[in-house]
Structure 1
Amino acid sequence: MTPARAGRRTLRQIFAWPAVIAVLSTVGLLSALLGDGIWDGVSWVVLAVPVALYCGFVRRGA
């Protein structure tokens, strides 16, 4: 028995989260390169998001 096929998804639905992760990574990298002080903390937090997502998906087995 096969699972029911999901409905079609638009390009916006497919690429929404990867685009958000790309923007966060860009902000994190730019803040690390161009800023000091608080920007270093911002870069650590923002760049930890993709790593945390990856670890969560690996742990979940997705």
Structure 2
Amino acid sequence: MSSSASTSAPSARVAQLSTWQVFRAPLLVGIVAAAGLVFGLFGDGMWDGLCWLGLSVPILLSLIYSAGWNFGSQPGSQDVQVDA
């Protein structure tokens, strides 16, 4: 009985992330989106293309992560426990 309790318990070792590690990606996405908004103010032509590119990055990232796509993981590599 004690062996099943120890396997289902979460790991006691929790990774501690620094502030930079936590906010690095959201800060980068925010800077890209803000740059897209600024590029939209400059004019037509190339600036419009940069505006679309900058503003599409947060939308694309939200679609990728809301769909739950796992790039780089092997199919069937998730641990699934079936109760018998």
* Same structural fold, with TM-score higher than 0.5 when normalized by the shorter chain: yes
CA distance in 1, matches of 2:48, 2:34: 14
Of residues 36, 44, 62, the one that matches 1:54 is 62
The CA RMSD over aligned residues, in Å, is: 1.5
* 1:26 to 2:34 alignment: yes
Q: TM-score, normalised by structure 1?
A: 0.86
Following TM superposition, the consecutive aligned residue runs of length 4 or more in structure 1 with deviations greater than 2 angstroms are 2-6
Unmatched tracts of structure 2, length 5 or more:
1-7, 70-84
The structure whose Rg is larger is 2
Q: How many Å apart are 1:33 and its aligned residue?
A: 1.7
Q: Which residue of 2 aligns with 1:9?
A: 17
Q: How many Å apart are 1:36 and its aligned residue?
A: 1.9
Which one has a larger percent helix, Structure 1 or Structure 2? 1
Which one has more relative contact order, counting CA pairs under 8 Å at least 6 apart? 1
Q: 1:9 to 1:42 in 2, by over 3 A?
A: same
Give the match's secondary structure for 2:35: helix
User: What is the count of residue pairs matched by the alignment?
Assistant: 61
Q: Which residue of 2 aligns with 1:38?
A: 46
Q: TM-score, normalised by structure 2?
A: 0.65
Amino acid at match of 2:33: S
